[in-house]
Chains A and B, each alone.
Chain A
Amino acid sequence: MGLFGKRKNKQPPALQMRGYPGDPGTNKCLLMAAERGVQLETQLVDLEERACDSPEYRALSPFGKVPCLRDGDFVTSGAPAVLAYLDIKGNGNSLNPKKASILSEQNFWVDLAQRFADPVVTRLVSSLAPAAPASSPAQLESDRAGLTQALSQLDATMADNRQFIVGQYSFADIHWTACMHLCVLAGERAVMDPFSALAAWFERVESRNAANGQPTYASLSSLDEVQNKRLKSVA
């Protein structure tokens, strides 16, 4: 075996990530790690208990951003930074499209997910906590309406016979898969009912395997993990 082959066989140590099972950003990073074949050891940051404001956590993430990733001496936090890091650290090509128009389209969908879906999904999922107060009917209605508006745009795009949001699998699918998964856990699967192309896309991402053959969707938090505040690792 040549020098380079020997080096390639060396298994890199797992990265360490702190996150919360009901947090959209944490789930996006779990999915990205599974998709890119990156091992993650995880530890809970209990957002319900405001653990992201503890001095110990703030020493790692000065603005309390979740999740937080450590790779040796390198530490970063917040889903955009962690996702970018995991994407580069993974196997094979980056999920970022190379063509400017497709990259731009990807980033439009990422932006839409961050601005419109993440806040709604966070509120929906927070209602799953055992001691959570029930959302007001008006808030729930407003959340569903906002999400439906974004999903109708997504459905119109997917209706163009696309396998994934911008054609090829990309960051846009990572963001929206995590958001829709948490909606399903929160009992809001019906929000996808009017949108057949979106529902077909969701079935595709639910059954997707990474390049290493491992199913990626299983890396997302389960209902039991959300309710019992357990965060799984990515092997």
Chain B
Amino acid sequence: MTDLFAFGSAVKALDAEDRYGATGDLKKTQYVMQLLGFPADADSLKCLLIAGEKGLEVESRVLDISAGEQYSDDYLAISASAMVPALKEAYFQVCGDLAIISFIEGRGLGNRMPPRNAAVLAQQEYWVDIARSDAGPLVQAIVDAVVIAPMRNDGATPGAASDVAELASARAGLVPILDALDAQLAGKSYIVGDYSYADVHWTAYVHLLSVAGEDAQVRERPNLNAWFQRIRSRKSFSGQDLVAYTLMPSLEDIRARRLSDIVITDY
């Protein structure tokens, strides 16, 4: 059995100098976090985004879900349900986007991200729910067909008739969802007003749509397009000199199976 988290600074003792970040400023409070994820997996991207927004250093390792690595014995020893991604900080490890986002948010710098007002919090949860339950499977279907299928060397023919029908169905399914998001964003900088978890989830899905060549779905909706432009250039929530969106993988990164690390140098 191989420990998939045995990479980067984690191969050193917990008290080694570089377990505490690039400049050592995390010392005695936080260790560099380790993420096992995949660049075309929206949930992995959400975790990078929240870590960037909250100013936490992350070392990433690719778990190749295009090759089914999430079902390997090594990964099932970390996540019995094969939930991706997985995160480890020192002795604590957890998997799945909801758990990792809340852990990083709690461990990170700056103010608390979830809204305190009940109605705004409920709105955030509503838009996270729409993202994960309604948009997520459709975006993933498009990414699977357009981006991941060609990466698999399994003899399947990308662009087969079944793929075309599935793509058309996923695109059609996204129309009312993106229309609703566009309407929600009217007059707002972010989805529920201030930046929240809702923006983290939607950034990952909209980015993957863009990588899969579906930019027009965003461009043709003015409020959604303006929001996406804001997201692409916003400075981190915790005030570090980092634009979290720059951590998102390009199509080339995905094909090369590369996932960003996060290095913070201005604590």
Contacts and interface: CB of A to CB of B under 8 A. Distances in A.
Contact of A77 (B94, B126, B128, B176): B126
Contact of A108 (B96, B107, B122, B124): B96
Contact of A107 (B102, B117, B119, B126): B102
B97 interface: yes
A82 B122 contact: yes
A61 B37 CA distance: 34
Contact of B95 (A78, A79, A108, A149): A108
A111 B99 contact: yes
B81 A149 contact: yes
Interface in B42-95: 80-81, 83, 92, 94-95
B57 to A, nearest CB: 16
Interface string A88-126: 110000000001110111011011100110000000000
B8 interface: no
A84 B119 CA distance: 9
B222 interface: no
Contacts of A140: none
Contact of B123 (A76, A108, A112, A116): A76
Main secondary structure of the interface of B (DSSP, over half): helix
Contact of B134 (A63, A76, A88, A108): A63
B80 A153 contact: yes
B193 interface: no
Given A104-B102, A108-B96, A108-B98, A116 B81 contact: yes
A81 B81 contact: no
Contact of B99 (A81, A82, A88, A105): A105
A156 to B, nearest CB: 9
A81 to B, nearest CB: 4
Given A99-B106, A108-B98, A85 B118 contact: yes
A63 B106 contact: no
Given A84-B121, A85-B118, A115-B83, A104 B126 contact: no
Interface in A7-47: none
A80 interface: yes
B99 A104 contact: yes
A62 B117 CA distance: 23
Contact of A76 (B80, B122, B180): B122
Contacts, number: 93
Contact of A89 (B96, B118, B180): B118
Interface string A145-185: 00001100100000000000000000000000000000000
Interface string B173-206: 0001100100000000000000000000000000
Interface of A: 62-63, 65, 74, 76-85, 88-89, 99-101, 103-105, 107-108, 110-112, 115-116, 149-150, 153
Q: 10 closest Cβ contacts across the A-B interface?
A: A100-B106, A104-B103, A88-B118, A108-B99, A85-B122, A81-B126, A81-B125, A107-B98, A80-B125, A107-B99
29 contacts: A62-B176, A62-B180, A63-B134, A63-B177, A65-B126, A74-B122, A76-B123, A76-B126, A78-B133, A80-B129, A81-B123, A81-B125, A81-B126, A81-B129, A82-B122, A85-B122, A88-B117, A89-B118, A100-B103, A100-B107, A101-B94, A103-B103, A103-B106, A104-B94, A105-B94, A105-B99, A107-B102, A108-B99, A112-B83
Interface of B: 80-81, 83, 92, 94-103, 105-107, 117-119, 121-126, 128-130, 133-134, 176-177, 180
Given A104-B103, A105-B99, A111-B83, 5 more contacts: A62-B180, A83-B125, A100-B105, A103-B103, A103-B106
